[in-house]
Amino acid sequence: MFDHVEIKVVHLDDCRRFYQTVLAPLSIELKWADEEAAGFGRIGHDKVSFLIEQGEQSTPCHLAFAASAAATVDAFHQIGVTAGFRCNGRPGLRSHYAPNYYAAFLRDPDGNNIEALAYLDDKRQGPAVA
């Protein structure tokens, strides 16, 4: 549906570090950065699909990044919390969204709600939530 997404951030350097850290388990890397913006894309591909640009803070947004498995969602959350970023929802099933919807949430330095999610296959019981 989308070719790329861009959001404005106030704390560009802090947000660049946040996304560079927490998107790594999702196979997303920093492709380029300058004093005004940074672009991210899939490892092994040239395309930039997610951009952050220096700007004024508006209402925080919610971005959900697809993960390949529950373990990847867990890694996204763990690496973010370990790096000192704020948890906004521990990894676990979110059956109120869908019976197999497994997700975790972090807040970026500007307060945006950043989610990693995986759809568990119907045969799987989903990991225990700590």
Q: Could you give the angle at the alpha carbon of 111 between the alpha carbons of 64 and 109, nearest 5°? A: 100
Q: Could you tell me if 116 and 63 are in contact, meaning their C-beta atoms sit under 8 angstroms apart?
A: no
Q: Where exactly are the structural domains of the chain?
A: 5-54+61-119
**pLDDT at site 27:** 97
pLDDT digits (tens, 9 = 90+) for 26-56: 999 999 999 999 999 999 999 999 999 999 9
Give the whole-number percent of the chain exceeding pLDDT 90: 88
Question: Against a cut of 0.75, is the pTM above it?
Answer: yes
What is 5-54+61-119's CATH topology? 2,3-Dihydroxybiphenyl 1,2-Dioxygenase; domain 1 (3.10.180)
Alpha helices in the chain (DSSP H): 12-22, 70-82
Which 3 state secondary structure label does DSSP give 72?
helix
Q: Exposed e or buried b for every residue in 88-116, given b needs 16+ CB within 10 A?
A: beebbbbeeeeebbbbbbbbbbbebebbb
- How many other CB atoms are found less than 10 A from the CB of residue 48? 17
Q: pLDDT of the chain along its 130 residues, tens only?
A: 789 999 999 999 999 999 999 999 999 999 999 999 999 999 999 999 999 999 997 789 999 999 999 999 999 999 999 999 999 999 999 999 999 999 999 999 999 999 999 999 844 344 444 3
Within 13 Å of residue 113, how many CA atoms lie on the same side as its CB?
A: 12
Q: Could you tell me if 60 and 10 are in contact, meaning their C-beta atoms sit under 8 angstroms apart?
A: no
**pLDDT at site 45:** 96
Q: Could you tell me if 57 and 110 are in contact, meaning their C-beta atoms sit under 8 angstroms apart?
A: yes
